[in-house]
Structure 1
């Protein structure tokens, strides 16, 4: 778009978009600046927006005073295991709903869709009772297993797999392939974009989960990173710089996963939306 075609209305739109982008990015910038600034350098009441020097002292202080390493390990374990389970269950369930017709097919799928609209606070008590009956309360499995199936993930998988031609599946079956072989050899190779979408969504859900781990896990050593961050806020004192440093540490894995799967994420969302 050349400058000659930029009407005053378009200039106003661009200015508003840029201003909105700066407003949205400023909290993230402030978090990074505070995390790597000397203690009190940006929180002394001045209008300074950039620290006089960068330091890792805040992260070092948090690491030495809190079991941050244990929190990170717990988050990595629950997130990786949870993502694997969620992606696997979603792919299998989406394939079944997209390519098979069985009694109660529509009713069951409608019930799964209804779970998307139910907040976790509504099912937290019965979910806790089930986990307690299985003697999993206080263990990381109490966080990993209950959310192995996500309604929105199953819905996305089904919508994507509706676009896979049935002729491919029938051709494989005529060649003597079993159902698992058809799924593994024919369906999965076509689901790269879908897997990218599911990995990013499941990773963000698991990594940032706070409410359910707060109920299911025991304090301190079994905490995940979001719970650890919450516990750093004291009643009368909160080490803001240390909290910001751990927040940056918590943000990095999400950014890395999104960058790695970004291309497939966009392809998957676009393909799913066209079904």
Structure 2
């Protein structure tokens, strides 16, 4: 009785199988990324749809994926309020916060990464532990501090409490740990002090880090609502996020006008992110944050 032998795969069969598996994984990753992108883009599309839709589309139970009548009435309603003043206030406050916060975070990150002193690790751990404290818990002591300094009702009441962040210092330290100490030693041998070493050697190497810190600080401060609402008592000093509450009616909410103002508020962040996207990704990659 003869036996039938099955042919064994040749040496080229395994690479072909691996290539097929790699292609399948690639297609799955692309599909998953497309679904994730669609899920994240859907709220933005709904905001656009609501901003350009008439009130008749907003007060109906049927679902509309396109405006029945393209209109700018919601934007006319928004510009009846001092939107440009609120936008200028948001710009001034956010730019000041970004400048102060990024500077303080970079200096603190440099100290924790490259300078040796007693209790450095303990101070850094205590600093990181503040990230576990909710922001709402800090609002009362911050309010008392701001009131005691006579800053209540001014832009400084918003700017100074945001002058540094624990996460920003952590991110700066992780990034600067990757800078070789030999470069700093060479600068000191040439007679450079700590400040000159930081400005001329360390800072040019931290462009991706500066972009990340600037973008994160800008996004957080531009969207901040609770703290500016607490310390800004004059409506002429309100930011866009705080002024959005005036668009609501006394008994009903004008969702079209709200979404129109939200769209105007989102546009600067989208433009800034697109401009700094390259440095944003590099900064996170080189900081070791996954």
Calculate the TM-score normalised by the size of structure 1: 0.90
- Structure 1 position 181 matched with structure 2 position 184: no
The corresponding residue for 1:30 is: 46
Cα separation, 1, equivalents of 2:193 and 2:32: 57
Cα separation, 2, equivalents of 1:4 and 1:121: 50
The corresponding residue for 2:146 is: 131
- Once the two structures are TM-superposed, the CA of residue 2 in structure 1 deviates from its matched residue by 8.9
The corresponding residue for 2:221 is: 206
Cα separation, 2, equivalents of 1:205 and 1:274: 19
Contact kept in structure 1, 2:212 and 2:283, CA below 8 Å: yes
Contact kept in structure 1, 2:152 and 2:232, CA below 8 Å: yes
The corresponding residue for 1:54 is: 70
Cα separation, 1, equivalents of 2:183 and 2:26: 48
Contact kept in structure 2, 1:42 and 1:49, CA below 8 Å: no
Aligned-CA RMSD value: 2.5
Moved over 2 A (4+): 1-7, 9-25, 37-48, 52-57, 230-235
The corresponding residue for 1:92 is: 107
Contact kept in structure 2, 1:42 and 1:51, CA below 8 Å: no
Query: Which structure 1 segments of 5+ residues have no match?
Result: none
Cα separation, 2, equivalents of 1:10 and 1:43: 44
Cα separation, 2, equivalents of 1:2 and 1:220: 63
- Structure 1 position 108 matched with structure 2 position 140: no
Cα separation, 1, equivalents of 2:127 and 2:252: 44
Calculate the TM-score normalised by the size of structure 2: 0.86
Count matched residues. 273
The corresponding residue for 2:132 is: 117
Query: Which structure 2 segments of 5+ residues have no match?
Result: 1-17
- Once the two structures are TM-superposed, the CA of residue 257 in structure 1 deviates from its matched residue by 1.2
CA spacing shift, 1:131–1:95, aligned 2, 3 Å: same
Cα separation, 2, equivalents of 1:25 and 1:211: 26
Cα separation, 1, equivalents of 2:205 and 2:36: 38
Cα deviations across residues 7-46 of structure 1 (Å, max 9, x unaligned)? 6x99888766645543432221111011122333354333
SS class of match (2:55): coil
Cα separation, 2, equivalents of 1:125 and 1:267: 37
Residues 219-230 of structure 1: pairs in structure 2 closer than 5 A: 219-230=234-245
- Structure 1 position 39 matched with structure 2 position 62: no
Contact kept in structure 2, 1:42 and 1:50, CA below 8 Å: no
- Once the two structures are TM-superposed, the CA of residue 159 in structure 1 deviates from its matched residue by 0.5
Contact kept in structure 1, 2:78 and 2:257, CA below 8 Å: yes
Cα separation, 2, equivalents of 1:109 and 1:192: 23
The corresponding residue for 1:236 is: 251
